[in-house]
A and B are shown apart, each in its own frame.
Chain A
């Protein structure tokens, strides 16, 4: 049976405001966070009949309790999607939502379905990193992986060793810039349109409403950052200030075939070009975005020079700078994370992929001169993932 690969578009993406662990979502369930995102997507796209959603893929790293029970399916049911919509749970740690997007997008391209919701959630306050893990003892006994590979901060210190030119001063400067760019993006209302307000339960304070990202620290200076401890090594470089925090949040996006978007009157914000996932040495997982990007570029027949907009997840400043240094891009290049990144907004692990996409979509809207952009992130246990997108607003299309 002859088939054609079909174009896949990113129609819309939303997320909850992110929270600090034990902060605004301390008494709010993880599944409720993702449910609010799914409902907001449906509300924002009223021309999409809910029964046309044919799959709900939701990522979570720790699939326990309110992040367990096949969260894609339970979230779909609880969000009020008809029971004919199936769903599943997905896990690639930090790249969970990104993988939810690429996996379902592949299904669309293959023709398995037309409309999906993909996203992720991580409530790190309720489910701390490493909850319930049971690493195989062979990892230690056979030295399959350096023991530092399981501690993400240590992998970031390891990355500094690989890139001796990336100093703590550079990572702190990058972190301060991330906070500053995020504050500016907020001031220009570039982030809030994609935030879903969440009613937050507190037995002591009563109900509240989360409308902003709790982790942000506007006004952070390099001097402030210089004072912070380096918990992963004595006299190390990685601090709480130049890394993403421990956060709670959820994201979801709507992907469709290009034909379905047209049929349903949905306006695409981005078109999928290619994606690549790779494995690297687990103890320097932060380098993952480089080979992943090489792979995605190769698949797309593009070079790094064709990419004019970048959303690089800021798990650690050093990991972003390693990526930039590899490709010869300046630390403060305005095309990279122009609205700030995870250092400011937070990084609720499996949810972050779609946050990157939301911000890239915003870049595409603001910058019609850009044709191609990418979202990339490093992943625990030594992986990287990159998705290359095309801007439907690109001026060249009009010509």
Chain B
């Protein structure tokens, strides 16, 4: 089939494509350089809905390029975008509609076929990168012979690998051949796997992705002028020679090691992208693009991608509109925040609240020394931000002045929101809330940062139990984006709405959780770690247990996670869960012994960062003689998770399986290619086997 036939066929598939139009206008170039066909990509919406390429959009771009190429009076072609946006890549909403590999293959062929006309068409071509240029948006510019980039253009990247795809419209071949394999691996694999890190305009030019960096105020005018000078020869574009020797192979090897670190081989995308970068060293354009088509088709038809798109949607859409949150208009203003306790957690909370809310935050503790230390910690952290240039001196002064402390809880009298961050002991928290109720207004919200205590019980004896809500952060508070907001039995809508409003201002992704033991993330991680610990107690060596789960591509092995959580905390939660559900949650005696011995980890770490089991720990623990194989352990853990999630959904801990996945993605860093976890449990058949049914219908996070 020729390109037009491929396009016609793809356009015929029904989708909700928001068509990015390709408007072409003649521009008379300065310096008598002739006429420029200036193509503007514009989907007719403002910058909040970026341009994307679906089949219809590509068809328009194809027609615009063809029309310009057919004209003798056109000296050159340039592509730019609507204000602030070049294009944000392929229209991924159409991907779930692709049901066979041939369709997926054609998507790649169409993108290549259209975009490569910019370089094969016989006329000089320019990409004017005026703003957001992601994936296919960057690729359209990469196909052009020359590129200008705006200083203000943020968000330049190839995020495909992050999602489970690869830059399959030329990026994988063109980028290493433009900037060398070393930088291409950084952009395509390392940045993508590093929380989808993006480049600024200046960074993109420094890497050689753009030929010239131009100010934003008159970016298009100056781009056109620059293009005219290139055409007349007044400007010669010089690009540094790229290293096609061993450095190329070394870069690919480095990328592979990086991918192993991040996904441990569990997600195919980075490895396919690296194969293509390796091959791009010797491939010509035709072979390079054909290889991209094949790899793209494989990935599009992969379960990992469907999980990745599902996860992307959860993080970008569901996280912003939390399921079950009450009407925003019920939220009350929060103009002063109290923090009970001045320890490390309290200090982290105070810092977060003051930075995001910019209202007075007051800490209390039992004695002046603790209070001073707590306030001192927050002030010190603000000074660190100042030192790093993250905030300006005036801002630092403002924030420091807002954070104060006292040994007298009456300072909370005019606070609208008081959160306790004291030791995890129910009676202590109840006493504190009872005391606070004598001081604060009847509407002031009392929040608890408990990770496992029952909040309904905590509120039970209060005059106004409806103002109590759980506010469960994840450590480190400043970094992890998840906030579990827990509704106790009597929590009212105004309190909950206020909690969500505060959570949003704190820039956290909030999930509504019912008051159930350990809520979502800790419950599942505790179940997960409980199974692993049990296997170790039965005789599975710790390193074997850790290795058995690496095939899932979790962010870290279980025993490293234990260390991060903190062994005493893990033990405490395990005990709590054991009391609630003794048949499913065991308490590892070995863990208890290691905690009792004051150890902080099962491992000791060598100077070069390699773990080995601490001999002292080895001496403490007693193990059985029934080691599990890697497969057995993995099945055991996944079975337990499937069972626990099903129970949680049946108990109504969260609204839907989607919320479980969102919690694991954002609170535990579980990977996109698993879709959190329920898509993986579905596609591996474990959900069906354990519960007799899937978590999600086919097609939601999987091939239909």
Point out residues on A near B: beta carbons under 8 Å.
35-36, 39, 78-80, 196-199, 201-209, 211
- Known pairs A36-B221, A197-B30, A197-B221; A207 contacts B215 (CB<8 A): no
**Measured between alpha carbons, how far is A221 from B390 in the docked complex, in Å?**
66
A199 near B221: Cβ-Cβ < 8 Å: yes
Q: Which of B21-29, B322-330, B332-340, B552-560 contacts A (4 or more CB under 8 A)?
A: B21-29
B27 / chain A contacts, CB cutoff of 8 Å = 208-209
A209 near B23: Cβ-Cβ < 8 Å: no
Partner of B217, one of A78, A208, A209: A78
A206 near B44: Cβ-Cβ < 8 Å: no
Chain B: residues with Cβ within 8 Å of the partner, total of 21
Say yes or no for B617: interface residue by CB 8 A criterion. Answer: no
B221 near A206: Cβ-Cβ < 8 Å: no
- Known pairs A197-B224, A198-B221; A211 contacts B28 (CB<8 A): yes
Beta-carbon nearest neighbor of B26 in chain A: A208
**Measured between alpha carbons, how far is A198 from B28 in the docked complex, in Å?**
12
| Interface positions of B from 197 to 230, Cβ below 8 Å from A | 215, 217-218, 220-221, 224-225
B217 / chain A contacts, CB cutoff of 8 Å = 35-36, 39, 78-80
Beyond the given pairs A36-B218, A197-B30, 15 more chain A to chain B contacts, judged by CB atoms under 8 angstroms and listed by A's residue number, are: A35-B217, A39-B217, A80-B215, A202-B25, A203-B42, A203-B44, A206-B23, A206-B25, A206-B39, A207-B40, A208-B27, A209-B28, A209-B221, A209-B224, A211-B28
Say yes or no for B83: interface residue by CB 8 A criterion. Answer: yes
How distant is B379 from chain A, measured CB to nearest CB, in Å?
Answer: 29
Beta-carbon nearest neighbor of A198 in chain B: B221
- Known pairs A197-B30, A211-B28; A205 contacts B224 (CB<8 A): no
| 12 sample A-B contacts, Cβ–Cβ < 8 Å, listed by A number | A36-B217, A36-B218, A36-B221, A39-B215, A201-B83, A202-B25, A203-B44, A203-B82, A206-B38, A208-B25, A209-B38, A209-B224
**Measured between alpha carbons, how far is A35 from B27 in the docked complex, in Å?**
21
Partner of A39, one of B25, B44, B83, B218: B218
| Interface positions of B from 13 to 40, Cβ below 8 Å from A | 23-25, 27-28, 30, 38-40
How distant is B85 from chain A, measured CB to nearest CB, in Å?
Answer: 13
B28 near A205: Cβ-Cβ < 8 Å: no
Say yes or no for B80: interface residue by CB 8 A criterion. Answer: yes
B218 near A208: Cβ-Cβ < 8 Å: no
How distant is B89 from chain A, measured CB to nearest CB, in Å?
Answer: 20
- Known pairs A39-B217, A199-B221; A207 contacts B28 (CB<8 A): no
Beta-carbon nearest neighbor of A79 in chain B: B217
**Measured between alpha carbons, how far is A207 from B221 in the docked complex, in Å?**
10
B44 / chain A contacts, CB cutoff of 8 Å = 203
A205 near B23: Cβ-Cβ < 8 Å: yes
Q: Which of A79, A80, A202, A209 has the most CB of B within 10 A?
A: A209
Beta-carbon nearest neighbor of B224 in chain A: A209
Interface string of B479-497 (1 = CB under 8 A from A): 0000000000000000000
| Interface positions of B from 331 to 385, Cβ below 8 Å from A | none
**Measured between alpha carbons, how far is A199 from B221 in the docked complex, in Å?**
6
| Interface positions of B from 78 to 134, Cβ below 8 Å from A | 80, 82-83
**Measured between alpha carbons, how far is A255 from B218 in the docked complex, in Å?**
23
**Measured between alpha carbons, how far is A206 from B225 in the docked complex, in Å?**
18
A199 near B218: Cβ-Cβ < 8 Å: yes
B80 near A207: Cβ-Cβ < 8 Å: yes
B24 near A206: Cβ-Cβ < 8 Å: yes
- Known pairs A80-B215, A197-B30; A205 contacts B221 (CB<8 A): no
Beta-carbon nearest neighbor of B23 in chain A: A206
**Measured between alpha carbons, how far is A315 from B635 in the docked complex, in Å?**
86
Interface string of B213-249 (1 = CB under 8 A from A): 0010110110011000000000000000000000000
Partner of A207, one of B25, B30, B218, B225: B25
**Measured between alpha carbons, how far is A209 from B39 in the docked complex, in Å?**
12
A199 / chain B contacts, CB cutoff of 8 Å = 218, 220-221, 224
**Measured between alpha carbons, how far is A387 from B39 in the docked complex, in Å?**
45
**Measured between alpha carbons, how far is A36 from B28 in the docked complex, in Å?**
18
How distant is B227 from chain A, measured CB to nearest CB, in Å?
Answer: 11
Q: Which of B23, B44, B215 has the most CB of A within 10 A?
A: B23
How distant is B35 from chain A, measured CB to nearest CB, in Å?
Answer: 11
**Measured between alpha carbons, how far is A202 from B23 in the docked complex, in Å?**
10
* A-B interface, 8 closest residue pairs, ranked by CB to CB distance from nearest: A206-B23, A206-B40, A199-B220, A209-B27, A207-B40, A208-B25, A206-B25, A197-B221
How distant is B575 from chain A, measured CB to nearest CB, in Å?
Answer: 59
**Measured between alpha carbons, how far is A199 from B225 in the docked complex, in Å?**
11
**Measured between alpha carbons, how far is A207 from B80 in the docked complex, in Å?**
8
Beta-carbon nearest neighbor of A36 in chain B: B218
B225 / chain A contacts, CB cutoff of 8 Å = 197
A205 / chain B contacts, CB cutoff of 8 Å = 23, 25
How distant is B42 from chain A, measured CB to nearest CB, in Å?
Answer: 6
Beta-carbon nearest neighbor of A201 in chain B: B83
B38 near A208: Cβ-Cβ < 8 Å: yes
Beta-carbon nearest neighbor of B38 in chain A: A207
**Measured between alpha carbons, how far is A161 from B27 in the docked complex, in Å?**
47
**Measured between alpha carbons, how far is A303 from B28 in the docked complex, in Å?**
46
B25 / chain A contacts, CB cutoff of 8 Å = 202, 205-208
**Measured between alpha carbons, how far is A211 from B25 in the docked complex, in Å?**
14
How distant is A177 from chain B, measured CB to nearest CB, in Å?
Answer: 28
How distant is B150 from chain A, measured CB to nearest CB, in Å?
Answer: 12
B23 / chain A contacts, CB cutoff of 8 Å = 202, 204-206
Q: Which of A199, A207, A208, A209 has the most CB of B within 10 A?
A: A207
Beta-carbon nearest neighbor of A38 in chain B: B217
A202 / chain B contacts, CB cutoff of 8 Å = 23, 25
A196 / chain B contacts, CB cutoff of 8 Å = 221
Beta-carbon nearest neighbor of A209 in chain B: B27
**Measured between alpha carbons, how far is A205 from B215 in the docked complex, in Å?**
24
How distant is A209 from chain B, measured CB to nearest CB, in Å?
Answer: 4
| Interface positions of B from 21 to 79, Cβ below 8 Å from A | 23-25, 27-28, 30, 38-40, 42, 44
**Measured between alpha carbons, how far is A35 from B38 in the docked complex, in Å?**
23
How distant is B213 from chain A, measured CB to nearest CB, in Å?
Answer: 14
**Measured between alpha carbons, how far is A207 from B82 in the docked complex, in Å?**
8
A203 / chain B contacts, CB cutoff of 8 Å = 42, 44, 82
**Measured between alpha carbons, how far is A208 from B39 in the docked complex, in Å?**
9
B38 / chain A contacts, CB cutoff of 8 Å = 206-209
Beta-carbon nearest neighbor of B30 in chain A: A197
**Measured between alpha carbons, how far is A204 from B24 in the docked complex, in Å?**
10
How distant is A232 from chain B, measured CB to nearest CB, in Å?
Answer: 38
**Measured between alpha carbons, how far is A36 from B215 in the docked complex, in Å?**
12
Beta-carbon nearest neighbor of A211 in chain B: B28
B83 / chain A contacts, CB cutoff of 8 Å = 201
How distant is B222 from chain A, measured CB to nearest CB, in Å?
Answer: 9
How distant is A80 from chain B, measured CB to nearest CB, in Å?
Answer: 6
Partner of A206, one of B30, B42, B215: B42
**Measured between alpha carbons, how far is A209 from B220 in the docked complex, in Å?**
9
**Measured between alpha carbons, how far is A204 from B23 in the docked complex, in Å?**
7
How distant is A187 from chain B, measured CB to nearest CB, in Å?
Answer: 16
Beta-carbon nearest neighbor of B40 in chain A: A206
B218 / chain A contacts, CB cutoff of 8 Å = 35-36, 39, 199
**Measured between alpha carbons, how far is A39 from B25 in the docked complex, in Å?**
25
**Measured between alpha carbons, how far is A35 from B225 in the docked complex, in Å?**
17
How distant is B84 from chain A, measured CB to nearest CB, in Å?
Answer: 12
A198 / chain B contacts, CB cutoff of 8 Å = 221
Beta-carbon nearest neighbor of A197 in chain B: B221
**Measured between alpha carbons, how far is A197 from B27 in the docked complex, in Å?**
11
**Measured between alpha carbons, how far is A201 from B23 in the docked complex, in Å?**
11
A211 / chain B contacts, CB cutoff of 8 Å = 28, 30
Q: Which of A39, A196, A201, A206 has the most CB of B within 10 A?
A: A206
How distant is B70 from chain A, measured CB to nearest CB, in Å?
Answer: 18
How distant is A389 from chain B, measured CB to nearest CB, in Å?
Answer: 29
B28 / chain A contacts, CB cutoff of 8 Å = 209, 211
**Measured between alpha carbons, how far is A79 from B216 in the docked complex, in Å?**
9
**Measured between alpha carbons, how far is A199 from B231 in the docked complex, in Å?**
20
How distant is A337 from chain B, measured CB to nearest CB, in Å?
Answer: 27
**Measured between alpha carbons, how far is A211 from B44 in the docked complex, in Å?**
25
Beta-carbon nearest neighbor of A208 in chain B: B25
B224 / chain A contacts, CB cutoff of 8 Å = 197, 199, 209
